[in-house]
Chains A and B, each alone.
Chain A
Amino acid sequence: MTSRRPLHDIIFFYSLALPAFLIVVILSLLLLSQLGMSIPILRVQGLSTYTTTTWRPMYDPPPDRAWYGLLPAIWGTMVSAVIAILLGLTFTIALVVFMEEIAPRRVREVFSTIIDLMAGLPTVLYGVWGLAFLGPLLHKYVMSPLHSHLSIVPLFSCEPLSGATVFTAGVLLSIMITPFMVALVQESYRSIPYTLKEAAWSLGMTRYEYVLLNMRMIAPSIASAILLGFGRASSETAAVTLVVGNAVNIGFCIFAPAYTISSLIANQFTESQDFPYMLNALFAGGLILLIIGLIVNTIGVLMLRRVRF
């Protein structure tokens, strides 16, 4: 077959195929580098790298005196991402309902531009704002009051010492992931056939019942937004590192400083080259982040395809 094609077509094919192939190679290298660099620490510590809570960099390699347990960072990632999803989903549904059902056209356009603006803002700018404004604000008006009145609740049981906590990270992340979740939910919401919407109205439904019905119809896309939002929230680095407090810490209280996997990497990478296996431990963190991300995103994209009318 190939030999019958004219030469310029063959050149055309390969000059395009090579760049395409290179992109596939980049992703493969990304996977391989994370895996390859993680193997030494997994050889020494085994899977307990992911299930232990001690983070003790030492010059003597593990398992003797040094130990690199990633569970606190994994826990911090999960907690901040779950907070981000809960708040982000609330924002998302309100924004979609507001833009699709309530707002006049001009207002909707303004909102849509602002949401685009949110989506692309350099994340470090969210970070400095979170550090200087949001953290102190939440500390004074949300965390401290909740702790002093509701400290029986395990989530609020520890005293917030500053604004840099896993809770602040979750709130900041919720703002950052909202535009992505809105894009997903809004597209599905718009794909609901008008005849179905009219039928709902003609039954004399209230706006609340009507919206609830519509949301049920696009439930898979909401699930997908949750998963993809989780992926975004768990992989964010710069902004989270500035507000999460960066302390090795695990517990149910959300008002304590913590690490996420990405902030642990960002914070300890430079010094990790001085300690044996510490760099490998950070790559093991990167590996689990990569695996979580790929799983969550794959399921999320598959869910999205289930919305069909």
Chain B
Amino acid sequence: MDKLFTLLVVLVAVLAILPILHIIAYITWRGLPVILSNGLSFFTDLPAAVVEEKPGGIAPALAGTIFMTFTATLIAVPLAMLAAIFSIEFPNHVLTRAVRVASRSLLEVATVLIGMLIFVLLVLPTGRFTALAGSLALAIVMIPYVYTYTELALLSVPRTYIEAAYSLGMKRSQVVFYVTVRIARRGLARGVAIAVTKAMGETAPLLFTAFGAYSVIFGGPLEPASALPLMVFQFIQTGYENWRTLAWGGSFVLLVLYLSVFIIARILVREVKY
């Protein structure tokens, strides 16, 4: 009886992690050959027309992902980090309670709703889908992650260092920015890395903001843009064989990007020691 129970637990546990291993293998199997057979042009070309046999390239998606992830990081990181410092420095302030609830809610809310918010605020009034709208939506996706991890990292800084800094006669802002933040920097970097994996992997917030655009590589911040997950989502559903091929190649690139940032975040966490 006990052996049977143990066996069952082991079997179900292994079954639970099989999918992710299979997903990695399967996407590599479908996606890697696409890249190998198209070479460098896979990264630099526009998607081919649907009548052609060749798939073309994922340049618009790649450019959009780089632009939107980068700008979203520029917006979200300072905002969320300063807010997190506020929560640590003024733990009993009513705003701290409010921002914790807000961050927690943003973390759990369906990301498609974030896309709808930017749609109402930016796309409806201006009448156009833009890369910048996509950046803003991704920034809102990133904020709660940066906030939560920054708060955790700052809390883990030993009190003694902070007291020592005050005893040297430093101002409050100096203590925070020269001592606490410096000591916690690896934890902060990890938070940013995790938020970046989220931003570059999101599809739903971009559907009604960046919208997708494939006729130029990058039209500028005020034109519609694509992103890797958005392109994969849109092209895998089409009936065109060469576009679906493109989607598989794009999936593999997205997977490799994700795994790289995942590994960076791992290295950062391993070295957090005081």
Would you call A47 an interface residue if the criterion is a C-beta within 8 Å of the partner chain's C-beta atoms? no
**Docked complex: B1-31 residues within 8 A CB-CB of A:** 1-2, 5-6, 8-13, 15-17, 19-23, 26-27, 30
**Docked complex: B212-264 residues within 8 A CB-CB of A:** 229, 232-233, 236-237, 247-248, 251, 254-255, 258, 262
Would you call B58 an interface residue if the criterion is a C-beta within 8 Å of the partner chain's C-beta atoms? no
Q: How close is B90's CB to chain A, nearest CB, in angstroms?
A: 7
Contacts of A19 in B (CB 8 A): 78-80, 82-83, 86
In the complex, the answer to whether B251 meets A128 with C-beta atoms within 8 Å is yes
In the complex, the answer to whether A121 meets B13 with C-beta atoms within 8 Å is no
Q: How close is A12's CB to chain B, nearest CB, in angstroms?
A: 4
In the complex, the answer to whether B13 meets A111 with C-beta atoms within 8 Å is yes
Q: Pick 30 A–B contacts, CB within 8 A, sort by A.
A: A18-B82, A19-B80, A20-B86, A23-B79, A23-B143, A34-B117, A37-B120, A91-B13, A97-B13, A111-B13, A113-B266, A118-B20, A121-B23, A122-B197, A122-B201, A122-B258, A124-B201, A125-B254, A127-B233, A127-B236, A128-B251, A131-B236, A175-B19, A237-B110, A237-B112, A237-B203, A242-B233, A283-B116, A286-B112, A293-B109
**Docked complex: A92-125 residues within 8 A CB-CB of B:** 92, 94-95, 97-99, 102, 111, 113-118, 120-125
Q: How many residues of A contact B (CB 8 A)?
A: 84
A residues near B (Cβ < 8 Å) are 6, 8-9, 11-13, 15-24, 26-27, 29-30, 33-34, 36-37, 90-92, 94-95, 97-99, 102, 111, 113-118, 120-129, 131-134, 175, 178, 206-208, 211, 228, 231-232, 234-238, 241-242, 262, 265-266, 269-270, 282-283, 286, 289-290, 293-294, 297, 301
A13's closest neighbor in chain B, by CB?
B90
Would you call B35 an interface residue if the criterion is a C-beta within 8 Å of the partner chain's C-beta atoms? no
In the complex, the answer to whether A16 meets B83 with C-beta atoms within 8 Å is yes
Binary flags per residue of B187-209, CB closer than 8 Å to A gives 1, else 0 = 00000001001101111100110
